[in-house]
Amino acid sequence: MPQRKDLNKIMIVGAGPIIIGQACEFDYSGTQACRALKELGYDIVLVNSNPATIMTDPELADRTYIEPLTPEVVETIIARERPDALLPTMGGQTSLNIAVALAESGALENYGVELIGAKLEAIKRAEDRELFKLAMERIGLEMPKGGFAKSLDEAMEIVHQIGYPAIIRPSFTLGGTGGSVAYNVEEYKELVTRGLNASPIGEVLIEESILGWKEYELEVMRDLADNVVIICSIENLDPMGVHTGDSITVAPAQTLTDREYQRMRDAAIRIMREIGVETGGSNVQFAVHPDTGRMVVIEMNPRVSRSSALASKATGFPIAKMAAKLAVGLTLDEIQNDITGETPACFEPVLDYVVVKIPRWDFEKFPLADIRLGTQMKSVGEVMAIGRTFKEALQKGLRSLEKERYGLGADGKDRFPPFPEDDPHPEQSRQRIREGLRVPTNARIFYIRHAFRYGFSVDEIYELCRIDRWFLQQIQQIVALEDELRQAGKLELPKHRELLRRAKQFGFSDVQLAHISGMSEDEIRELRKQAGIVPVYKTVDTCAAEFRSQTPYFYSTYELENEAAPRDRKKIMILGGGPNRIGQGIEFDYCAVHAVLALKDEGYETIMVNCNPETVSTDYDIADRLYFEPLTFEDVMNIIDLEKPDGVIVQFGGQTPLKLALRLEKAGVPIIGTSPESIDLAEDRQRFEKLLASLGIRQPEAGTAFSFDDAKAIAERIGYPVLVRPSYVLGGRAMEIVYDADALKAYIDRATEVSPEHPILIDKFLEDAFEFDVDAIADGERVFIGGIMQHIEEAGIHSGDSSCMLPPYKLTAADEAILRQQTETLAKALNTVGLINIQFALKDGQIYVLEVNPRASRTVPFVGKATGVPMAKIAAKVMAGRQLREFSLPDTSNHRHMSCKTPVFPFNKFTGVPVYLGPEMKSTGEVMGIGDTFGEAFAKAQLGAGFRLPLFGAAAISVNDADKATVIPIARELARLGFRLKATRGTAQALRAAGLEVGILHKVNEGRPHIADAIINGDIQLVINTPLGRESRYDEYAIGAAALQRNIPCLTTLSAAAAAVQAIEFIQKQPFSVHCLQELYENGQ
Amino acid sequence: MKDYKDAVLLLDDGTLFRGKAFGAVGTTGGEVVFNTSMAGYQEILTDPSYKGQLVCMTYPHIGNYGINASDVESVRPQVSGFIVREGCTLPSNWRAGDSLDKYLQQAGIVGIQEIDTRALTRHIREHGAKRGIISSEEVRPEKLRDRFETLPEMQGQDLVRHVTCREAYEWTEPLPETWYSAFERLEKAHVFERRHLVVIDCGVKQNILRWARSIGFRVTVVPAFENADQILRRKPHAVLVSNGPGDPEPVTYVIDTLRQLIGQTPLFGICLGHQLLGLALGGRTFKLKYGHHGGNHPVKNLLTGKVEITSQNHGFAVDPGTLPKNEIELTHVNLNDHTLEGFRHRNLPIFSVQYHPEASPGPHDSGYLFHELQNMVLNRSE
């Protein structure tokens, strides 16, 4: 079937901000869809609220809207653009939900917009668990027993029939939000209540427990001619009970016979047809009882997903790209498999390697969070590793995580000694190991190794964790080889040649080998090279080498034949950012991708190295050559040894490649752009202090402490409060504001454990200052300032967690001139070639430099979107030798519109974690709001972040003493806008004294009903609550948690409160206008 | 870990791969082919079409789910040798009995593991199918080289005579319900109780027989040497000529039989059976560079326009240009290399496919062909 000619303009809705359960994968899918449909000649209208996406680059779509993803806003855009069709399957659950809302409200019909990719009925059949269950019954497929409940009473009835443990899943939520397992009636009641609240339709599904069953996923594609193919099978290493997003998963399925696999395949195809997904990719999940083979269907997603991104990277078959083409009528046999270039896309990829995906958790960011894994996803990112065996892929994956682990233990970071004989309390350790196996956590995979070391058998381990014995045996083989290596001791040639080769084939890193043999990593590397044990690179080709492949997409292994023949072109290697984590996410992938595109444009061959399967950077269509490899020194050096690039870019991938910079440079690798030495200088407090002093630039008083006494002396000299942190961190990890010596002592006790080799940094904390971020590009001579952003929250909140406004909303021309001048001075002093980001603080008319990072920053994409200047691309070209004067750069000091960036937080995934902000970054993603005024931009950003500012109602106010004066004008404005005011006693007194009418709310410790009760009861529509230090923490936690539960905006700084008031005033007066980027840029700034 | 003996795989062009023994220790020879199926090694091992071949599995982990009693295509492993990247010693599956290693040992099948199977596959892809010798007794290549003199080329060899049954027998086992019941509509089975299908056994896979039984036929399997008279005396409602190993051209006795059966009874050919029918109808066959062996080949049904993902295992193919156009309609084509995958007779109840509608291993997309056989017989006798 040829592509449809009756469609001209197609709208694609993205997934919005990065949150747990919805990450870069939707930028990858959306970007592919845009490119594919544009290639076919369609006009694309794109909507997404996330500025850090490639898909929102103005050249990808014809009309790009960075606007909040709500049905109302999307409808406004539809009214303006009048697309012929809406493709809702590329933007995750967010996009699907909007499509459903618009279809049901009749908006699509009104505007004559056709849903393509998935029809409303199909979406509903797949998403509504009741309809889905009926559909499965019709085609003779089993599901877990259970039923739906809309109330606790109904839920109690169901559990009487199925017993405990029972699984509770709220309907229509994302990433398993609110999903849980109840083992007893008390727990059950609590979890059902939480689930009913979490579900937008107040419904939960209660199911028999299939905990411990084997879990599988199939990625399925169907076209309009009813051709159906399975792209990839995935087996979860963690059995049922752990959310797929939190499971280690393996492709292809490892422990199914062909008959079992074909039964599952048949079922998946039947499901596609019965649910009625006409075109595109879907994901179907199954569980198989390990002892009987009974198979049940868990669920299906009628859209591309995290799993389909993984499957695309795992097989080389680009599911989203194909799905987009199928949605406009092409059939699978009409599309070419672009990896082979000679066979059609209508086939099923086969692998001749093993793919392992491992999630990354950042629990240390949320010390009170429950680290047990369950049906609610908690991981913030993931890595994928490819090896010729599971053993190799697993160990590569573990070192790709960048959790300071270099494989499956044996790296000097283990919790238990390698041999029980060396353990003074082996029985206690065995008990802890048993516990570690029984309770799924992020560390369980390591406990399996410990268990083997402590003499557990495969069967014993299996009984405790239900991880399939096949995986256990593979791990046992790794442990057995570790034993052999331990016996060998110091490695020598030629004696240990075969052992060394085998160790590399089993995925052992040089760091592990160094640790086991008591040698250094460099010695191991040298020894390997002497022995000729270097990796070969094999191709991901969709077809297990049956056909030649055109696409250089490689992974390393230790075997005979190398397929990656370096080409003789000028080439630049770009190191990616590795797994998403809090503090380092899609923004750096955006920068890395821009670097690739820019350098391709300059005629270089580009080489991308990365291990994050969600990203655009690991799309084999982006760079000329893709190495899907861990970003460790060893793995990167191996590629460099083979490719011998003319330049390597480490400044665009966040902390991951930066950590390697100095070592790479020392190894003679040509790092282009700002030198690692300069980057290091900016990170080194003492040297940097000297530099600033010599430039006459002020920074908050500071000191470096190597002991508590040091620290105390420094803090007393500069005066409390002080900001303390270990050196070399990203995302403000382990950073705190302390107000006295006791707190300082408590902090140091904790922090020195975090990074023992680094001293503690102490800065004067500038309370009530305003913060600014400046992003600029320097070429060695000139400096171009891309944007100045003013934080809405005052200093002390991590810049990544702070909302900010571009241009600044409160900055005098004189101060701005100083910021600009200091930026130039610093960029030049650091010999910056490329991007530089500087954070400033303004307090009492004095400007301070807080931090300088001569590299890509988190705000680069936002600045790019706000100004239309492709900062990262220009910077990459400058790094490759171009001069700034060669580009036509706009004047960025003149703005017609306001752009607001607002973070989103994962607090709803970590129940019991305090909802308050500080110097340690906690957000997972961000949205952007564009408006003609400050109020509009802020209101849109809030809406994009999921907070609907109230138009009327009651505002609860509770602020600390320092804020009591400042809150008065804000409260007065709220009253003027028609809000009823309520406040806790102290605040209320202050407000009443100012002549405002205020009701009193109890603090949480003052007896009930208190402020949190009022929030939960729905009596409050807006909360302003600034922290008061330790005593009020309890209050803040309760208030924050209550606000979160009711999804009520809770403003924890007065500047945010003031912004919210302006925003409320705006939305009371008029509906949002929507802005198309292409128009904004055309009209100029 | 268990220590395996050193082993080598030597190709007739001198290429050498060193690895470790797997399965029986010994020396074996045959044509090296690669199979890209990621599961289904037990069905592959027991498929008589692999007679005379050393099968290299491209998926690196083989043996994961062990060996069970039921997933077999004949009573014993048929391959001449087995080549894997990593054999599994501790299988894990609820139906698993022995490990693959032990099973091969007991069956005396010589294998090799720990070799770069991808490099081997690429070698075959670039240079064509090669004869090879696996040995875990003699690992010095110069000592093995002579053996190629007695190792025949695949082309020109009649391997059917080695795998066909000695005597005719009735087949009664249907498809196992666990794996098929929910998906295949067999409602016409009762109509079929008195319909008789004779299967010419050129090395038949048991799943063909199970399918035939499940759609209701009384199934008689006869040796490939049975001539047309003998077959017709069995009063068949249709004759199925099965898959089997090697080159179809030297299997002249079956070709002769088929020539005589054309027009006498409905005919359905599968794989080698398809090639034999092609030859009987006046066509020619040729050897493919490295054949089709796997479970993911897209085949387009030219009559419906639909694509099915098929199970394939053949080294030879029918040249479509040599078939009489006025009599034969091409019905299926391979979308990867555009080779012929199926045809039917314009006037007579004859059709055949190059691939495996019985799957096993592989996707079930093509099971409809058995229903077509069923319909062909029904239309004729009603």
Chain A positions touching B39 (Cβ under 8 A) are: 253, 256-258, 261
Task: Examine residue A903 and say whether the peptide bond preceding it is cis (omega within 30 degrees of 0).
Answer: no
- Residues of chain A above pLDDT 70, percent: 96
DSSP 3-state assignment of A44?
strand
Q: How far apart are CA B347 and CA B166, in angstroms?
A: 34
Enumerate residues 151 to 180 of chain B having a beta carbon within 8 A of any beta carbon in chain A: 176, 178-179
B336 falls in which pLDDT band (50, 70, 90)? very high
Q: Reply yes or no on whether the pLDDT at A798 is more than 90.
A: no
Q: Measure A227 CA to nearest chain B CA, in Å.
A: 6
Are residues A370 and A10 in contact, defined by beta-carbon separation less than 8 angstroms? no
Q: Is A1017 exposed, middle or buried (0-12, 13-18, 19+ CB in 10 A)?
A: exposed
For tokens 């075969």, the residue is A498
- Average confidence (pLDDT) over A990-1006: 92
Q: Measure B177 CA to nearest chain A CA, in Å.
A: 11
Taking CA–CA distances from A347, the nearest residue in chain B reads B298
Give phi and psi for B292, each to the nearest 5: -120, 120
pLDDT in tens, A631-646: 999 999 999 999 999 9
Q: How far apart are CA B84 and CA B55, in angstroms?
A: 9
Mean pLDDT of chain A: 92
Q: Measure A267 CA to nearest chain B CA, in Å.
A: 8
Taking CA–CA distances from B89, the nearest residue in chain A reads A473
- Average confidence (pLDDT) over A338-345: 89
Q: Reply yes or no on whether the pLDDT at B186 is more than 60.
A: no
Contacts of B20 (CB under 8 A, 6+ apart): B4, B5, B6, B7, B112, B113, B114, B136
Q: How far apart are CA A1048 and CA A87, in angstroms?
A: 31
- Average confidence (pLDDT) over B274-290: 97
Q: How far apart are CA A824 and CA A830, in angstroms?
A: 10
* ipTM score: 0.97
Are residues A608 and A625 in contact, defined by beta-carbon separation less than 8 angstroms? yes
Q: Reply yes or no on whether the pLDDT at A1031 is more than 60.
A: no
Q: Which of A46, A44, A87, A94 is nearest to A71 (CA)?
A: A94
pLDDT in tens, B75-99: 999 999 999 999 998 999 999 999 9
Q: Which of A261, A276, A304, A279 is nearest to A139 (CA)?
A: A276
CB contact under 8 Å between A293 and B178, yes or no, is: yes
Instruction: Give CA angle at A311 (A306, A312), nearest 5°.
Output: 100
Taking CA–CA distances from B87, the nearest residue in chain A reads A389
A754 falls in which pLDDT band (50, 70, 90)? very low
**Chain A interface includes B34 (CB < 8 A):** yes
pLDDT in tens, A1-36: 789 999 999 999 999 999 988 889 999 999 999 999
- Residues of chain A above pLDDT 90, percent: 75
CB contact under 8 Å between A265 and B363, yes or no, is: yes
Is B382 an active-site residue?
A: no
Q: How far apart are CA A620 and CA A449, in angstroms?
A: 34
pLDDT in tens, A87-130: 999 999 999 999 999 999 999 999 999 999 999 999 999 988 78
Nearest CB to A266; choose among B42, B117, B364: B364
Chain B positions touching A257 (Cβ under 8 A) are: 39-40, 42, 65, 68, 71, 93, 95
The dihedral region occupied by A504, where left means phi > 0, alpha psi between -120 and 50, and beta the remainder, is alpha
Of B31, B43, B271, B274, catalytic: B271
- Crossing angle of helices A469-488 and A510-517, in 10° steps, is 50
DSSP 3-state assignment of A540?
coil
Enumerate residues 64 to 103 of chain B having a beta carbon within 8 A of any beta carbon in chain A: 64-65, 68, 71, 85-86, 88-95
Between A731 and B42, residue with greater pLDDT: B42
Q: What is the 3-state secondary structure of chain B? A: CCCCCEEEEEECCCCEEEEEEEEECCEEEEEEEEECCCCCHHHHHCCHHHCCEEEEECCCEECCCCCCCCCCCCCCCCCCEEECCEECCCCCCCCCCCCHHHHHHHHCCEEEECCCHHHHHHHHHHHCCEEEEEECCCCCHHHHHHHHHHCCCCCCCCCHHHHCCCCCEEECCCCCHHHHCCCCCCHHHHHHCCCEEEEEECCCCHHHHHHHHHCCCEEEEEECCCCHHHHHHCCCCEEEECCCCCCCCCCHHHHHHHHHHCCCCCEEEECHHHHHHHHHCCCEEEEEEEEEEEEEEEEEECCCCCEEEEEEEEEEEEEHHHCCCCCEEEEEEECCCCCEEEEEECCCCEEEECCCCCCCCCCCHHHHHHHHHHHHHHHHHC
Q: Reply yes or no on whether the pLDDT at A271 is more than 50.
A: yes
Please tell me the total number of residues recorded for chain B in this structure.
Answer: 382
Q: Which of B20, B35, B38 to mutate to test the interface with A (most CBs of A within 10 A)?
A: B38
Q: Reply yes or no on whether the pLDDT at A1085 is more than 50.
A: no
**Chain A with chain B: Cβ pairs closer than 8 A:** 181
Q: Reply yes or no on whether the pLDDT at A177 is more than 70.
A: no
Regarding beta strands A214-222 and A381-387, do their DSSP bridges make them parallel or antiparallel, or are they unpaired? unpaired
pLDDT in tens, A949-994: 999 999 999 998 888 999 999 999 999 999 999 999 999 999 999 9
Q: Reply yes or no on whether the pLDDT at A735 is more than 80.
A: no
pLDDT in tens, A387-429: 999 999 999 999 999 999 999 999 999 989 999 999 999 999 9
Is B358 an active-site residue?
A: yes
Q: Measure A533 CA to nearest chain B CA, in Å.
A: 15
Q: Reply yes or no on whether the pLDDT at A912 is more than 80.
A: no
Rounding to the nearest 10 degrees, give the CA dihedral for residues A58, A64, A70, A72. Answer: 160
Contacts of A903 (CB under 8 A, 6+ apart): A800, A801, A802, A803, A923, A925, A926, A945
- Average confidence (pLDDT) over B222-227: 98
CB contact under 8 Å between B117 and A347, yes or no, is: no
DSSP 3-state assignment of A702?
strand
pLDDT in tens, B202-220: 999 999 999 999 888 999 9
Q: Measure B257 CA to nearest chain A CA, in Å.
A: 35
Is B202 an active-site residue?
A: no
Taking CA–CA distances from A214, the nearest residue in chain B reads B93
Q: How far apart are CA A733 and CA A108, in angstroms?
A: 46
Q: Reply yes or no on whether the pLDDT at A785 is more than 80.
A: yes
Please report the pLDDT score of residue A518 as a whole number: 96
Are residues A1024 and A1000 in contact, defined by beta-carbon separation less than 8 angstroms? no
CB contact under 8 Å between B363 and A348, yes or no, is: yes
Are residues A180 and A374 in contact, defined by beta-carbon separation less than 8 angstroms? yes
Q: Which of B355, B87, B67, B49 is nearest to A258 (CA)?
A: B67
The pTM (predicted TM-score) of the whole model is 0.94
CB contact under 8 Å between B335 and A140, yes or no, is: no
CB contact under 8 Å between A348 and B296, yes or no, is: yes
DSSP state of A22: B
Radius of gyration of chain B from its Cα atoms, rounded to whole angstroms: 20
pLDDT in tens, B58-68: 999 999 999 99
Q: Reply yes or no on whether the pLDDT at A868 is more than 80.
A: yes
CB contact under 8 Å between B121 and A545, yes or no, is: yes
Q: Measure A161 CA to nearest chain B CA, in Å.
A: 27
CB contact under 8 Å between B362 and A262, yes or no, is: yes
Q: Reply yes or no on whether the pLDDT at A759 is more than 80.
A: no
- Average confidence (pLDDT) over A1022-1042: 73
Q: Reply yes or no on whether the pLDDT at B52 is more than 50.
A: yes
- Average confidence (pLDDT) over A437-441: 96
pLDDT in tens, A22-73: 889 999 999 999 999 999 999 999 999 999 999 999 999 999 999 999 999 9
pLDDT in tens, B88-138: 989 999 999 999 999 999 999 999 999 999 999 999 999 999 999 999 999
pLDDT in tens, A498-507: 999 999 999 9
Q: Which of A683, A731, A350, A811 is nearest to A545 (CA)?
A: A350
